[in-house]
Structure 1
C-alpha cells in the first residue's frame, strides 16, 4: 500500500464504552452503486499526558470514505474531522495562565491495514478554531483539514483505524496576547482495549467483475419519484418482458459456476437493519370477500447473502423480515364481515401470526439490461387465529385458540425495474401479490366443537392456494441512512 502527502462542528460528545462505529450508507438490495461514499465515524477514549497528569478524553473522528475501490486506486478521505472534548480538569493549565481562548492543531496517526500488512499515515495540520476557556465545565475543539491519500496493491478488505493523537495547543489572553507559556504539546494514546476502526473498504482486483452500479448504456433518466402508473402494478407486456429476462438465471445458485465465470461475493455488502410498513387486502375465496391487512410494521435485515454472478449478469440478494405488532411477531388484528355460506352475516377478528424463521426475501436483478429488472419473492410462515366471532349479530364463543391446525406458507412476489424506476423494488416498495392455502381449523369452540364449521367456511378447497393477497410496501427506512424515508411511511392499501 502507498500513502501520499496531501469542517464541520458536530454535536457534543457522549462517549460510549468501547467506542462506536457509524457507517451511514444505505446498503440495500437494489440497483444502487456499492461504491458510493460512506460517512464513517468512530468514537474513542484517549489517555492524554497533560502537565497536571494523565486525562482521559473523548475523541470523535469522522471522514467520508469510498466503500469499494480497485487495486492501486487512490483513496482520498474527505470531510475529515477530529472532535476533541476536554474535561474541566484538563483545562487547569489554561486557566492558570489566565487564557481567554485556546485552539489546537491536531496530528492523528491512522493505521491503514490489509491482511497482515499495515502502514501508518499522518493526518497532520488539522486545525481547530479558537474557543473560549470556560469558567466551568469542559470544552470541545473540532479540528479539520486535508489528509493524505492511500492506495492498496492487492484485493481484500482494508481498514483505517486511528491510533496516536498529538495536540498542539495555543492560548491567548483576553487582549489577544500569547499566554506564558504560549502553548502546550500533548501526546495521546488510545485508552485500553476498544474497537477503533474508522472505516472498512473493499479492494478489488482490476480484472474482477465491475462494482454493481447503474448501467453504462445510457438508460433513460431516473425520475425522482415512481410514476403514478406504478401503483396498479406492471402491465402484462412489461411483466412478460421482465419474466423473459429472468429466464437467464442459473438453475441453482449453489452449483459451482464455470471457472471463467467467477461468482463474486463483495465484502463491502454487509448486513444492516431497516424498517417499513405494508398494508393491503387478503381474499377469502370461499366467502367471496376480502379483509384488510395492516398496516403491518416490518423489521428487516438486509443483505444476509449477496451474490453477483458476472457470467449470468445477475445479482441475487437474500434478506429477512419479521412482523412486529406491540412486541409480537404478527400483523395487527383485522375485523371483517362476510356472508357465510352466501346468506349468514358473520363478523370475526383475524390475526395472522408469524411462526418459525423470519420471512425469506430474495431479490434477483438482471444487470445486462439497461432497465435493471428486479424480481422479488417474499415467503413467510403464518398461522391464522379467529376470535370475537358473531353470527347474525349473536356472539359465538370460539375460545382463545381457534386457529389453523398448522402453519401455512404465504408467498408474495413483486416485479419492477430501476431505470426508469417503477413497479416493486425492495428499497422503494410497491405492489406485492400472491396466493395462500388456508389449512383446516382446530381448537374452535368452548361448549361445542366448531372446527368443521370454520374449516368448511374459510379453509382452502383441496391443496390449491386460492386466497389472493395484495400488499403495498412503503419505501424502506434503513438504519444506516436515517435521513431518507425515516420514520417509515404507512402506504395506502390497494385491492
Structure 2
C-alpha cells in the first residue's frame, strides 16, 4: 500500500495519543533500579544579568547518576549540587542595601536527550544556606535539593546536560530584616549557547533493552535463542506500575462519578471525522516452546485503518480507540515466510519454512488511554487470527515431503499487548510503535505428508501441550506512516527485531 497524499488534504488525523517528542520528566516508577552509580560533575560558564550589568559566572553542577539502566527504569539523580561563584561586582547592590547575608534559591534546566529526542526538566527549589556578604571578593553559594526523576524509552546513549539557570537572592540585614528591595532575581544563560544549549554534559547513561545483553545467534543454522519472557507481574516488558496506573486512574475516576453520574458521557466521535489509513512494518521472534528455540518473524508489512471507533470519555478521563490491521506480503494476507532449524525431540535437526497466514477479519487493535494523568499512560491489545503452514521440510538434511497444505487444523488467536506513556514517551504507543509481547496456543496439525500421514509427528513436535498458550512472541513495531501526515515517518521504516 502507498499512502495517498491527497487524503491528507481531506481528513485531519486524530490519534489517541499526542506529542511526538518527550515533553515532561515526571515519570512513573519502575520496579528495576538503576545500576552502577557514577559521580558526575561539570564546570560551566554562564552569563548572568545583574543590576550592575552582565557578569561571567562559574557554575559547578554535580550529581550521582547511574551509569547503566534498563529502558523505562526510573533515574533519580542523588546528591544534586549547584555551586555558583557570585562575582564581587554583582554584590554591590547588597552592600548598598545594607545587607549582611543573603540566601539563594536556584532553578536549573536540565536537558535529557537521547538520539533526536530531548526533554527539559526543571530542577527547582535548590536552596543554599545564607552566606555573608563579603567586604570584597566573590561569594560562593552551594544550592542543593531533590530533583525530578527521568526515564528513557529506548536502548542507546542518553545524556543529561545543564541549560538555563535562574537565581533568586534574598538579602537580609544584620538584624534579620528584609532590605529594600527585598529580593533579586537573576537569569543566567550558558555562555556562547543558543536557546539554552551548551557543550557541557553532566552525565552519560547507557540505556539497555529489557533483554540485553543480546547473545548473537549461531553462525550455522540452528535454533535462535528464546526471547526473554516478561515477568508475569510486570506485564509485557514494562513496569507493573504502568498497568497499575492505567487501571487505578480509570477505576478512581469512575468511582468519583457514582454520586453524580453525568448525562453526556462518553462521547463517540463519528468515524468519518477521525478515520484514516496508515502503514507500518513489524519484526520480531516467536518461540517454539517444545523445540526450545525461536524463529524470526517479518519484517511484516501492515495495512492499518486507524480510529474505526473513537470514544472520548471526558467524565472518566479516558480515550478508547479501535483500529484494524491486515498483513500484506506480495498481495497475500500473511507474514513473510521464515525458515528456521530446530532440534526436534532434542536431537534431530529439522529445518522448515513457516508461514503465518491471516484468516477471518482484520486484526483488532484496541488502545485505552488515561488522560487525567500527565503521563497519558496507554494500554494496547492487538488480536489476530492466524494459521500456520509448514513447507520445505528437511530432517537431518534429507527432504521430507509434507505436501502443499501442512497446516494447523484450525486458526489460532495471537494476542499481543503493549504498554507505554505519551509524556515523556516510552514503551509501546500505536502511533509511534515499540515492543509488543504475548502468547499463543498452537493447535494440532493436519494435511501433512504425501504417501504417509505426518500429522501426529508435527503435532507432537510443535503444537502446544494441553490448552495453555505457551509460545511467546515479541514484535517490534516501527512508527506509523499515516495518510493524513505523509511528511512524517513515510515511507515506513523497518524496525530491528529484539529477543
Residues of 2 paired with 1:29 and 1:343: CA distance? Answer: 49
In the TM superposition, what is the alpha-carbon distance from 1:258 to its structure 2 partner? 3.6
Residues of 2 paired with 1:462 and 1:264: CA distance? Answer: 43
User: Is 1:373 matched up with 2:362?
Assistant: no
The verdict on how the C-alpha distance between 1:30 and 1:419 changes in structure 2, with shifts beyond 3 A counting, is same
Residues of 2 paired with 1:451 and 1:224: CA distance? Answer: 48
User: Is 1:31 matched up with 2:18?
Assistant: yes
Q: Deviations over 1:17-38 (max 9, x none)?
A: xx988236433332359xxxxx
Given candidates 325, 328, 342, the residue that maps to 1:324 is 328
User: How do 1:243-262 residues align onto structure 2 when only pairs under 5 Å count?
Assistant: 243-248=243-248, 249=250, 258-260=261-263, 262=265
- Could you say which residue in structure 1 is the equivalent of 2:269? 266
Paired residue secondary structure (1:454): helix
User: How do 1:21-420 residues align onto structure 2 when only pairs under 5 Å count?
Assistant: 22-23=9-10, 25-31=12-18, 228=156, 229=207, 231-232=209-210, 236=234, 239-248=239-248, 249=250, 258-260=261-263, 262-267=265-270, 269-420=273-424
Any conservation in 2 of the 1:232–1:431 contact (CA below 8 Å)? Answer: no
Residues of 2 paired with 1:435 and 1:334: CA distance? Answer: 19
Residues of 2 paired with 1:433 and 1:221: CA distance? Answer: 27
Residues of 2 paired with 1:338 and 1:460: CA distance? Answer: 16
Q: Deviations over 1:29-58 (max 9, x none)?
A: 32359xxxxxxxxxxxxxxxxxxxxxxxxx
Any conservation in 2 of the 1:230–1:430 contact (CA below 8 Å)? Answer: no
Q: Structure 1, unaligned stretches of length 5 or more?
A: 1-18, 34-217
Residues of 1 paired with 2:454 and 2:410: CA distance? Answer: 17
The verdict on how the C-alpha distance between 1:398 and 1:24 changes in structure 2, with shifts beyond 3 A counting, is same
Any conservation in 1 of the 2:269–2:309 contact (CA below 8 Å)? Answer: no
Given candidates 422, 431, 438, the residue that maps to 1:427 is 431
Q: Deviations over 1:202-240 (max 9, x none)?
A: xxxxxxxxxxxxxxxx9x999999664485389959622
Q: Structure 2, unaligned stretches of length 5 or more?
A: 1-5, 21-123, 125-147, 157-206, 212-229
Paired residue secondary structure (2:456): helix
Residues of 1 paired with 2:327 and 2:208: CA distance? Answer: 25
Any conservation in 2 of the 1:22–1:480 contact (CA below 8 Å)? Answer: yes
In the TM superposition, what is the alpha-carbon distance from 1:264 to its structure 2 partner? 1.6
Given candidates 487, 491, 498, the residue that maps to 1:483 is 487
In the TM superposition, what is the alpha-carbon distance from 1:436 to its structure 2 partner? 0.2
Residues of 2 paired with 1:20 and 1:353: CA distance? Answer: 30
RMSD between aligned residues:
3.2
- Could you say which residue in structure 2 is the equivalent of 1:436? 440
The verdict on how the C-alpha distance between 1:396 and 1:353 changes in structure 2, with shifts beyond 3 A counting, is same
